[in-house]
Chain A
Amino acid sequence: MIRAMTGGGLRLETNKERSTAAPLRAASVPAEVILPLDQHAGTAARPLVKVGDAVLLGQPIAEPTSDISAWVHSPVSGSVIAVEPRPVAYHAASSPCIVIRNDFADRRDNANTAVDYASMSPAQLSDHIARGGIVGLGGATFPTASKLSQAVAQPDLHLLLNGAECEPWISCDDMLMRERAADIVFGAHVLMHALGTVSCTIAVEDDVPQAIASLRAAAAQVQPHIRIATLPDVYPAGGERQLILAVTDREVPAGRLPSDIGILCQNVGTAAAVARWIRDGEPLITRIVTITGSGVREPANLETRLGTPIASLIADCGGYTTDDRRLIMGGSMMGLAFSDDRLPIVKGSNCVIVPSPSDLHPRSAEMPCIRCGNCSEVCPAWLLPQQLHWQAQAHDVAALESFGLMDCIECGCCDYVCPSQIPLTQRFREAKVPVQAELLARSEAHLSRQRYEARGERLVRIENEQRARLEQKRREITGRKSPP
C-alpha cells in the first residue's frame, strides 16, 4: 500500500518474471482461426469474403465501415468455413466472426508489399497504415490511423510510445522491447513521419533493465533521436493520462484528448506492428501474448496468429496444472474473467492468466466503508472513491458527476486497498451507466435548445424580410401611382 505516483497509484507484486524466463517463441498454428469483426474499437468491419472462398495469408477479409473501424486480414491461407456469431473473450455477447480453415500452406497474398514511407505524404502514410489493419495493441484497440488523423492538424506534436506495462503478470511488451527493439524504433520513425514531427519519447518502467538496454541500443543507431524515459514501476503508470503526466508533467484536461495538448500516445507493440507492415508488408495478423499463472505448466510469451484458440496456446505452454478453468484475459487488476478456452486471441489480447488459488487474493466479506481514506490515497485520478461509493448507493447522479465519476479510469486501485473489501470499481462501472445517460440527455437538450433558438431567430428574420419586401412593394406601387 504505497502511494508512489504523483498522487495515487500502487506498487504491486508484478509477477512478470514468471513469463519472461523463456525466450519469445512462435505459437503453433491452429487448424482453424476465428476472427471477430468487432475486435477493434469503433464499428465492426464488413466481411469481404463468404463461406467457401479461398483466402491467402495476409489477404484482407473485412473492411472498415466508418472513420473508426479497421481492416481485418487472414492470418493463414485456407478457406472460409463460416461467417457467423461466435462467443469472444472481450464481452459477454457473441460477435460476428469469420472462421477460416488453415491449409497449412501459408500461401501469401502478394498484394502486400513493403513501401518507402519516406516518400509518402503524412495523409497517404496514414491511409496506408489503416490498410494494415493496425490498431492500438495496448488493449484499447483504437484504430491507429484514426488516432493519427485526430492529431495531424496539430503543430509541435510529440509522439509518446507507451512501454510502461504496469499491470501485474503481463510481459508481452517487455519481451517485445527486449527482442525487437529495432522494430519499435523503425515503427516510431514511421509514426513520426505520419505525424510530421521529429520528437518522440518511449516511456518504460524502471524494472525492465534488459528492455531499456535494447531500446537504447536500437535508438542510438538512427536519426531522428528518440528519447527513452524511465518511470518508477507503479500501477497504473501506463494509463494514458497518468503516463502523460509522469513523462511531460502536464495533465490532459478532462473530456479532452491527449492530442489537444499536443501529445499522441501509442503502445510500443503498435509501433512494432506498423514497422512490420511498412517495412515487411505484413499486416496485423500476429501478436505477442503472455500466457502465465501457476495454472499453466510453462508460462511464456508466444507470437500468436490472430484467431488462435486460447486452448492451443495453453497446450504450447505445457498444459494446465489444475482442472480449475478460471482464466483472465488481461492483467489481474483490469482483466476480464472467462472460462471457455476455445475463444480466440484477438488484436487486443495481451495476456491470458491461468491463476491458481495462490496467485490471487480474493475479496472477503464486504463491510461498510470506515472512511479510512486508503482509496483516495491511491486513486490515480485523484477522486474520493469513498464519497463516490456513498453517492452511488444513493443513486445521486448529480453528485456522482460533480465528484468526477466519469474521470474514474476503472484501474481497481481503490478496490485493492479497501480494508472493507468493497468492490468499488465494479460499483463505479455500474454507476457510470445512468450518469452517462444523464450527460447524454443534457447534451441533447442543449442541442435541441440551440436549434429551437436558431429556428426562432430564423422565423423572426424571415418575417422581417417579408415585411420589408411588402413595404418596398407598397412604396413602389404608391410611387408609380403618385403623379410625377
Chain B
Amino acid sequence: MFAAFALTFALVSLLAVALLWPRESPASNESRLIDRINDLLPQTQCRRCTFEGCKPYATAIARGEAGINQCPPGGERTMIELAELLKREAIAVDPKFGVMPAQPAVAWIDEAVCIGCTKCIQACPVDAIIGGSKFMHTVITDDCTGCELCIPPCPVDCIEMRPKAAMTGAVT
C-alpha cells in the first residue's frame, strides 16, 4: 500500500513539476525585459504614449514608470499581450493617449503645395519621407507607420492622413 502511494505520489509530482516548470526563465535582467516588451509594441514610433518612441516606452514600462494602456496603435491586443508578459492586470487603453482611425492611415503630401522645407523629414521617426531642401517631398507609403508626427511641423499644412489601402492600390 505504501509503495503504491509513494509511486503514485512520485508520478503526480513529476507531472506537476513538468507542467509548472517555467518554459523560459524570467527575464534575467532589465535590458532583456525591455527588448521583450519592445517586441510586443507596434513600432509605430508615434509618441502617443508620451515617450520618445516605442523603445523608450518599453523602458518606462519595464521600470514600472508607465502603464501598459498607453499605446493606441497597439490597441487592446498589445495591452493584453503586455499584461500577460508582465503579469499585470489588463486595463482598457486610455483614450487620452489618442484614438486610432478605423482604417490604417498613412501620410500624404500635397506636392503642389510643398515648399521643400524638410521639416517633415526631420520629424519622421522612421525615415519614410524623402526629398531635398527646396525640392518637394514624398512619403514612402510602404514605410509610413501612420504616426502623424510630420503633420504639426509643416508650415504650409500640406500633409494629410489618407487610408493606407487607398494609397497602396489595395493590392495585397
A and B touch in the complex (CB under 8 A): yes
Chain A interface residues (CB < 8 Å from chain B): 441, 444-449, 451-455
Instruction: Tell me the nearest residue of chain B to A459, going by C-beta.
Output: B122
Q: Are A449 and B143 in contact (CB under 8 A)?
A: no
Q: Are A445 and B43 in contact (CB under 8 A)?
A: yes
Does more than half of chain A's interface fall in helix, strand or loop, or is it mixed? helix
CB contacts under 8 Å to A, within B93-149, are 125-128, 143, 145
Instruction: Tell me the nearest residue of chain A to B81, going by C-beta.
Output: A398
- 16 additional A-B pairs beyond A445-B41, A449-B54, beta carbons within 8 Å, are A444-B145, A445-B42, A445-B43, A446-B43, A448-B126, A448-B145, A449-B43, A449-B55, A451-B128, A452-B43, A452-B54, A453-B55, A454-B127, A455-B125, A455-B126, A455-B127
Q: Are A447 and B125 in contact (CB under 8 A)?
A: no
Q: Which chain A residues border B53 with CB–CB below 8 Å?
A: 452
Most chain A CB within 10 A, of B38, B143, B145, is at B145
Q: Are A452 and B45 in contact (CB under 8 A)?
A: yes
Q: Which chain B residues border A441 with CB–CB below 8 Å?
A: 42
Q: How far is the CA of A455 from the CA of B54 in the complex (A)?
A: 14
- Complex A-B, nearest 5 residue pairs according to Cβ-Cβ distance, in ascending order: A445-B43, A449-B43, A451-B126, A448-B43, A448-B126
Instruction: Tell me the nearest residue of chain B to A446, going by C-beta.
Output: B43
Q: How far is the CA of A108 from the CA of B40 in the complex (A)?
A: 61
- Is B44 an interface residue when CB atoms closer than 8 A count as contact? yes
Q: How far is the CA of A445 from the CA of B126 in the complex (A)?
A: 11
Chain B contact residue count (CB 8 A cutoff): 15
Q: Which chain A residues border B41 with CB–CB below 8 Å?
A: 445
B49 to chain A, nearest CB (A): 14
B161 to chain A, nearest CB (A): 16
Q: Which chain A residues border B42 with CB–CB below 8 Å?
A: 441, 445
Q: Which chain A residues border B44 with CB–CB below 8 Å?
A: 448
Q: Which chain B residues border A448 with CB–CB below 8 Å?
A: 43-45, 126, 143, 145
Q: Are B125 and A452 in contact (CB under 8 A)?
A: yes
Q: How far is the CA of A452 from the CA of B38 in the complex (A)?
A: 13
Q: Are A451 and B127 in contact (CB under 8 A)?
A: yes
Q: Are B127 and A447 in contact (CB under 8 A)?
A: no
Q: Are A451 and B54 in contact (CB under 8 A)?
A: no
Q: Which chain B residues border A451 with CB–CB below 8 Å?
A: 126-128, 143
Name 12 interchain pairs, CB-CB below 8 A, sorted by A. Answer: A445-B42, A446-B43, A448-B43, A448-B143, A449-B38, A449-B43, A451-B126, A451-B143, A452-B43, A452-B54, A452-B55, A455-B127
B163 to chain A, nearest CB (A): 16
A365 to chain B, nearest CB (A): 35
Most chain B CB within 10 A, of A444, A445, A453, is at A445
A70 to chain B, nearest CB (A): 17
Q: How far is the CA of A452 from the CA of B51 in the complex (A)?
A: 14
Instruction: Tell me the nearest residue of chain B to A441, going by C-beta.
Output: B42
Instruction: Tell me the nearest residue of chain B to A449, going by C-beta.
Output: B43
Q: How far is the CA of A455 from the CA of B55 in the complex (A)?
A: 13
Q: How far is the CA of A278 from the CA of B49 in the complex (A)?
A: 62
- Contact code string B25-68 (vs A, CB < 8 Å = 1, else 0): 00000000000001001111100000001110000000000000
B47 to chain A, nearest CB (A): 11
A43 to chain B, nearest CB (A): 9
Q: Which chain B residues border A453 with CB–CB below 8 Å?
A: 55
Instruction: Tell me the nearest residue of chain A to B74, going by C-beta.
Output: A445
Q: How far is the CA of A224 from the CA of B37 in the complex (A)?
A: 57
Q: How far is the CA of A328 from the CA of B44 in the complex (A)?
A: 45
B156 to chain A, nearest CB (A): 24
Q: How far is the CA of A451 from the CA of B43 in the complex (A)?
A: 10
Q: How far is the CA of A453 from the CA of B125 in the complex (A)?
A: 9
B82 to chain A, nearest CB (A): 14
A462 to chain B, nearest CB (A): 11
Q: How far is the CA of A433 from the CA of B45 in the complex (A)?
A: 26
Instruction: Using A452-B43, A452-B126, A454-B127 as known contacts, say yes or no to A447 and B54 having CB atoms under 8 A apart.
Output: no
B24 to chain A, nearest CB (A): 14
Q: Which chain A residues border B128 with CB–CB below 8 Å?
A: 451
Q: How far is the CA of A376 from the CA of B42 in the complex (A)?
A: 35
B79 to chain A, nearest CB (A): 15
Q: Which chain B residues border A447 with CB–CB below 8 Å?
A: 143
Q: How far is the CA of A226 from the CA of B96 in the complex (A)?
A: 69
Instruction: Tell me the nearest residue of chain B to A398, going by C-beta.
Output: B81
A350 to chain B, nearest CB (A): 27
A247 to chain B, nearest CB (A): 34
Q: Which chain A residues border B54 with CB–CB below 8 Å?
A: 449, 452
Q: How far is the CA of A447 from the CA of B45 in the complex (A)?
A: 12
B99 to chain A, nearest CB (A): 19
Q: Which chain A residues border B45 with CB–CB below 8 Å?
A: 448, 452
Instruction: Tell me the nearest residue of chain A to B171, going by C-beta.
Output: A43
Q: How far is the CA of A470 from the CA of B33 in the complex (A)?
A: 39
Q: How far is the CA of A444 from the CA of B125 in the complex (A)?
A: 14
A397 to chain B, nearest CB (A): 9
Instruction: Tell me the nearest residue of chain A to B38, going by C-beta.
Output: A449
Q: How far is the CA of A451 from the CA of B55 in the complex (A)?
A: 13
Q: Which chain B residues border A446 with CB–CB below 8 Å?
A: 43
Q: How far is the CA of A477 from the CA of B38 in the complex (A)?
A: 46
Most chain A CB within 10 A, of B42, B43, B55, B126, is at B43
Q: How far is the CA of A454 from the CA of B126 in the complex (A)?
A: 8
B44 to chain A, nearest CB (A): 7
Q: How far is the CA of A77 from the CA of B56 in the complex (A)?
A: 67
Q: How far is the CA of A20 from the CA of B117 in the complex (A)?
A: 72
